[in-house]
Amino acid sequence: MRIARFTARRLLQAVPVLLGVVVVTFVLVRVLPGDPIRTILGPNATEADAAAARARYGLDQPMWQQFVDYLGGLFTGDLGVSIQSGQSVMGEMAVRLGPTLELVVIAVTIATVLATVLGIWSARRAGRAGDHTLRVLALVGNSLPEFWLGLVLILVVYSGLGWVPAPSGRVDPDTNLSLITGADLLDAVLTGNGPAFASAAGHLVLPVATMVVVIVAPLMRSVRASALEVLGSEAYRAAAAHGLPERTLLRGYLARAALVRLPALAALVFGFAIGSTVLVEYVFSWQGFGQWALRGLLFRDYPVVQASVVVIALCYTLIFLIADVVHAVLDPRVRI
């Protein structure tokens, strides 16, 4: 019950931030250099054509009117029409959000589990060769440019070894996967489409591996540092000095205390991963949200840029909120 109240309060606190986000994106998009209308009409269009097109997209309205329309649209779920494609932004986004979230969630989950296991393993061997090796390896992973790592993996695993499908698209179209959520693996499971599942999984291997490698290091460092702090703490030493068995120590006295600070960092890493997807999707022609947003940005497609940036901020804010709640559950010292 207290957790529910805490969640509600944090949700309320997120509202002004999100409003700020909406304002900032709106202004940002309007001051972007470049004219979206010119890019779609081509060089031969007359001034009258341009004016007509502007009117069609509501760009002839005064700034405040555009803002009010935009804000109203946000609440009714109408995000406007893409200037480039003429399609509804909402519809385009629905198709694109699923695959990207699938990629990010799988990568962050694997990285978190890996970081927890390796971090505690490393902390219990602190100062020994295994610990040092693992930490340096994690640092190397963290120093890799993800877009380059993706290319190298393609070079080696696809071009060289041929173990994975070609890095274009997310699932073999021949498998006739029907679209439900947009997340291919999930859709394959929902429709019981075995071949599609295998194909989607095959396509996921390299992008997920790329992201896991670059994001596991900060998580592992955090778990290791917390675990080390717990192991060196008076509280843990006291429990050990009272002769508690290894299993009780690990489960009751080390694990939870060491994971207390992980959620906040995992949220941060999630955001980092969202940023990374723009690059990773580009490398693997993933046709996901990141690529869509990037193209919107490059072509000054106002509605697309606005919608994508606001959605990313919304996701990110929500993730932090979830992290706060998880933290509050894990750490009894948090006042809620």
For another protein, which is the closer residue by CB, 115 or 188? 115
Query: What's the sign of the alpha-carbon dihedral 29, 34, 37, 41?
Result: negative
For another protein, which is the closer residue by CB, 47 or 333? 333
CB–CB of 302/53 below 8 Å? no
For another protein, which is the closer residue by CB, 153 or 185? 153
| Least separation in angstroms between CB 112 and another protein | 16
For another protein, which is the closer residue by CB, 37 or 327? 327
Q: Tell me how far apart the alpha carbons of residues 77 and 95 are, in angstroms, rounded to a whole number.
A: 15
| Least separation in angstroms between CB 283 and another protein | 7
| Least separation in angstroms between CB 180 and another protein | 27
| Least separation in angstroms between CB 196 and another protein | 24
For another protein, which is the closer residue by CB, 72 or 332? 332
For another protein, which is the closer residue by CB, 48 or 161? 161
Tokens coding 287: 């046709």
| Least separation in angstroms between CB 194 and another protein | 28
Q: Tell me how far apart the alpha carbons of residues 34 and 280 are, in angstroms, rounded to a whole number.
A: 26
CB–CB of 146/214 below 8 Å? yes
| Least separation in angstroms between CB 83 and another protein | 15
Beta bridge partners of 88: 81
Return the DSSP state at 334.
S
| Least separation in angstroms between CB 51 and another protein | 25
Q: Tell me how far apart the alpha carbons of residues 27 and 34 are, in angstroms, rounded to a whole number.
A: 14
CB–CB of 286/68 below 8 Å? no
For another protein, which is the closer residue by CB, 51 or 140? 140
Q: Tell me how far apart the alpha carbons of residues 260 and 227 are, in angstroms, rounded to a whole number.
A: 10
Q: SS3 of 302, please?
A: helix
Instruction: Write the burial class of residue 62 (CB in 10 Å: 0-12 exposed, 13-18 middle, 19+ buried).
Output: exposed
Q: Tell me how far apart the alpha carbons of residues 141 and 123 are, in angstroms, rounded to a whole number.
A: 19
Give me the residue label for tokens 């940005």: 297
